[in-house]
Amino acid sequence: MTAAAPPCATPRHDWTRAEVEALFDLPLPELVFRAATVHRAVFDPTEIQLSQLLSVKTGGCAEDCGYCSQSAHFETGLKATRLLDAEAVIATAAEAKAGGAQRFCMGAAWRELKDRDVPKLAAMISGVKALGLETCATLGMLTAEQARALKAAGLDYYNHNLDTAPEDYARIVSTRTYQDRLDTLEHVREAGMAVCCGGIVGMGESRSHRAGLLQALANLPRHPESVPINALVPIAGTPLAGAAPVDALEFVRTIAVARLLCPQSVVRIAAGREGMSRETQALCFLAGANSIFVGGRLLTTPLPGEDADRALLDDLGLKPMTAREPAAAAAA
């Protein structure tokens, strides 16, 4: 497919950087139209998936990700905590479900999962699953054996973002490699779990880097079932604290290209939504986004809040998603 070809809802895994950059360069109305056309071919455009994310272990991470408030390398004022008890996590998940969440995600600030923590996490996962929620976790790097253990506990999705383009990655993180991330994604796939994988924009990257991130996601052996697109929330004390915000229309372009490259994936507006106007969010939904995080916080950064989200979705005539993602349902 070139920039002049009609949009297609059949996944491809051979995108070139030039093709992706050509999509970014389309006039915005044309780009959004193409993305909306693909979106409607796969999903109900009036439905939005609602997910909630809880930090089950905060701060003290050995990674040096330049955007992260939880890194032990930076002085951000965040107090490190121990892993929460399963009972507390399950109780929070029950509240999330009562508030309308359909998926509950558990995040721990670790470089990698330790075997000693697997039983406690398994208890969390199985308890949340028993509530009737889809389960997701983001716990850093995994071994193949750990991935199998999480799957056996009932974990549906594992989140492990690529963050940025391969050639831009070392500027953001030095404590692990791009290949480390790809290896974890392979372990997740081999264990039979669905993948949640996306990246962050607004970290001082170029448009070509944004194209490279989406190209890397689209050219994985299987597209991620969920693709979260985060807008950087600058955190005082981190190397990226002074990064300029990504332009709102450029964020919409990124959502639209993600929809075109990963037509059967749920595309989620993740971090940064609290700073977006209602109009920007509406444009993102028009361009193919069909998931948001709800609740008061996204790990350590703020979200708009339940009342604001309900008002936005009501005003747009959007409703909670009733079906599983096509790719995830096919893999089940």
Judged by average pLDDT, the poorest of 30-39, 121-130, 162-171, 302-311 is 302-311
pLDDT of res. 66: 85
* Cα torsion 34, 37, 43, 45: sign: positive
Q: How far apart are CA 212 and CA 206, in angstroms?
A: 10
**Catalytic, out of 34, 61, 176, 259:** 61
**Catalytic, out of 34, 68, 103, 273:** 68
Q: Decide if 197 is catalytic.
A: no
Structure tokens at 138: 């983001």
pLDDT of res. 14: 96
| pLDDT tops 70 at residue 2 | no
Per-residue pLDDT tens digits for 151-166: 999 999 999 999 999 9
Q: Decide if 136 is catalytic.
A: yes
CA dist list (Å): 327 to 194, 292, 330? 9, 18, 5
pLDDT of res. 301: 60
* Domain 17-316 homologous superfamily, CATH: Aldolase class I (3.20.20.70)
Per-residue pLDDT tens digits for 221-236: 999 999 999 999 998 9
Q: Is 204 left (phi over 0), alpha (psi -120 to 50) or beta?
A: left
Per-residue pLDDT tens digits for 239-273: 999 999 999 999 999 999 999 999 999 999 998 89
What is the mean predicted confidence (pLDDT) over 36-53? Answer: 95
Please give the residue that has the higher pLDDT: either 292 or 301.
292
**Catalytic, out of 65, 197, 262, 284:** 65
190 Cβ contact list (under 8 Å, min separation 6): 144, 147
Token pair 């949009």: residue: 7
CA dist list (Å): 301 to 99, 226, 244, 275? 19, 20, 17, 11
pLDDT of res. 305: 74
Structure tokens at 96: 């999330």
What is the mean predicted confidence (pLDDT) over 28-37? Answer: 98
Could you tell me if 218 and 15 are in contact, meaning their C-beta atoms sit under 8 angstroms apart? Answer: yes
**Catalytic, out of 34, 105, 176, 273:** 105
Q: How far apart are CA 32 and CA 9, in angstroms?
A: 15
Q: Decide if 8 is catalytic.
A: no
| pLDDT tops 70 at residue 327 | no
**Catalytic, out of 34, 103, 196, 253:** 196
- Give the model's confidence band at 71: pLDDT under 50 very low, under 70 low, under 90 confident, else very high: confident
Q: pTM of the entire structure?
A: 0.92
**Catalytic, out of 103, 253, 268, 273:** 268
Helices 207-218 and 248-261 pack at an angle, to 10 degrees, of 20
Q: Which of 4, 9, 7 is nearest to 32 (CA)?
A: 7
Could you tell me if 50 and 292 are in contact, meaning their C-beta atoms sit under 8 angstroms apart? Answer: yes
**Catalytic, out of 34, 103, 111, 136:** 136
**Average pLDDT, rounded, for the chain:** 91
Q: How far apart are CA 225 and CA 182, in angstroms?
A: 15
Per-residue pLDDT tens digits for 110-142: 889 999 999 999 999 999 999 999 999 999 999
Q: How far apart are CA 161 and CA 180, in angstroms?
A: 11
Q: How far apart are CA 207 and CA 209, in angstroms?
A: 5
| pLDDT tops 70 at residue 302 | no
Token pair 């390398």: residue: 73
Q: How far apart are CA 140 and CA 150, in angstroms?
A: 13
Q: What angle do CA 322, 324, 309 make, to 5 degrees?
A: 55
What is the mean predicted confidence (pLDDT) over 289-301? Answer: 74
Q: Decide if 65 is catalytic.
A: yes
* DSSP category for residue 301: E
Identify the helix (H) or strand (E) that includes residue 328: helix 326-331
How many percent of the chain have pLDDT more than 90?
A: 76
Structure tokens at 331: 């893999």
Could you tell me if 37 and 263 are in contact, meaning their C-beta atoms sit under 8 angstroms apart? Answer: no
12 Cβ contact list (under 8 Å, min separation 6): 1, 218, 261
